[in-house]
């Protein structure tokens, strides 16, 4: 669990209105083959990502203003609504519409992208993995502002009537986790909804790459549980 003790509240169903997910894998050393042997990286990407519909014409090379640190090999896995970026310092997979795809598919995509990097530069290694879930939704039948009040003890005075509150909680190391945070706030994208974000960083020496998505999913469930929430069964979030 991410909190010091388990919640005694009966969990409230958090009905999703929108959700996004991203993984950022930080490399221990620069991925020099991205500039020294681009064909090797691209070949491995195409081999690993072919099952996701990624082809040669989907690969985009971008170094923005010429800054070496911004060198980027990017591509979309359109069927999964996911953007992937391979950079000198890190690798990122971002799904903006998680509510429209299966999380297992995003997990498979993530494994393929990370694996292609290790194939393209065999001496490459990851230092840590950061997994982030961002969600907008409705906490059961509760009024969002009322639900969030339980996490704050006071509000600033003299600024007019308050419409809602929010809070962010930070936690330290535990097992393979080096840090994590949970944010709960009023949604700025949907009316009568709240915004939740969970971020967790795992030490790559303590967590196998193949176990990343399962561990991220367990952390998400524990985080929501610590807030007194639970996700509905698949297909019931709309």
User: Rounded distance, CA 6 to CA 196, Å?
Assistant: 19
Residues in the chain, total: 238
pLDDT-wise least confident of 4-13, 43-52, 67-76, 199-208: 4-13
Distance of CA 232 to the CA centre of its chain: 19
Q: How many CB atoms lie within 10 A of CB 90?
A: 18
Q: Is 147 helix (H, G, I), strand (E, B) or coil?
A: helix
What value does the mean pLDDT of the chain take?
A: 90
Residue 26 in this model has a pLDDT that exceeds 80: yes
Q: What are phi and psi of 161, to 5 degrees?
A: -65, 135
Q: How many CB atoms lie within 10 A of CB 109?
A: 25
Residues 43/50, Cβ–Cβ less than 8 Å: no
Query: Which of 162 and 4 is assigned the larger pLDDT?
Result: 162
Contacts of 192 (CB under 8 A, 6+ apart): 138, 143, 144
Percent of the chain having pLDDT more than 90?
Answer: 74
Give the pLDDT band of residue 57 (cuts 50, 70, 90).
Answer: very high
Q: What is the pTM of this model?
A: 0.88
Average pLDDT (5-33) is 86
Query: Which of 1 and 114 is assigned the larger pLDDT?
Result: 114
Residue 6 in this model has a pLDDT that exceeds 50: no
User: Rounded distance, CA 26 to CA 15, Å?
Assistant: 32
- Which of these, 116, 129, 94, lies nearest to 209 by C-alpha position? 129
Residue in the structure block whose two tokens are 């209105």: 17
Give the pLDDT band of residue 154 (cuts 50, 70, 90).
Answer: confident
Residue in the structure block whose two tokens are 């639970």: 230
Query: Which of 193 and 238 is assigned the larger pLDDT?
Result: 193
Give the pLDDT band of residue 194 (cuts 50, 70, 90).
Answer: very high
The per-residue pLDDT for range 157-177, each reduced to its tens digit, is 887 877 778 899 999 999 999
Residues 75/60, Cβ–Cβ less than 8 Å: yes
The 8-class DSSP code of residue 79 comes to: G
- Which of these, 121, 106, 131, lies nearest to 45 by C-alpha position? 121
For the chain, domain boundaries: 10-23+130-232, 29-124
Residue 138 in this model has a pLDDT that exceeds 90: yes
pLDDT of residue 4: 43
Average pLDDT (172-187) is 95
Residue 211 in this model has a pLDDT that exceeds 50: yes
């Amino acid at each position: 669990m991410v909190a010091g003790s388990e919640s005694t509240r009966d969990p409230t169903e958090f009905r999703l209105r929108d959700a996004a997910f991203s993984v950022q894998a930080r490399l221990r050393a620069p991925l020099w083959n991205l500039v020294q042997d681009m064909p090797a990286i691209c070949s491995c990407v195409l081999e690993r990502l072919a099952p996701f519909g990624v082809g040669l014409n989907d690969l985009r090379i971008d170094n923005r203003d010429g800054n070496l640190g911004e060198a980027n090999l990017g591509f979309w896995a359109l069927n999964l609504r996911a953007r992937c970026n391979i950079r000198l310092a890190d690798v990122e997979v971002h799904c903006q519409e998680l509510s429209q795809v299966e999380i297992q598919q995003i997990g498979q995509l993530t494994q393929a992208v990370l694996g292609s990097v290790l194939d393209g530069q065999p001496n490459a290694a990851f230092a840590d993995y950061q997994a982030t879930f961002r969600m907008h939704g409705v906490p059961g039948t509760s009024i969002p502002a009322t639900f969030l009040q339980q996490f704050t003890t006071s509000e600033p005075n003299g600024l007019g009537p308050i419409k809602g509150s929010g809070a962010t909680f930070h936690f330290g190391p535990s097992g393979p986790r080096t840090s994590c945070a949970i944010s709960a706030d009023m949604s700025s994208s949907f009316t009568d909804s709240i915004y939740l974000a969970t971020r967790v960083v795992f030490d790559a020496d303590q967590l196998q790459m193949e176990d990343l998505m399962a561990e991220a999913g367990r952390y998400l469930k524990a985080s929501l549980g610590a807030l007194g929430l639970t996700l509905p069964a698949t297909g019931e979030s709309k």
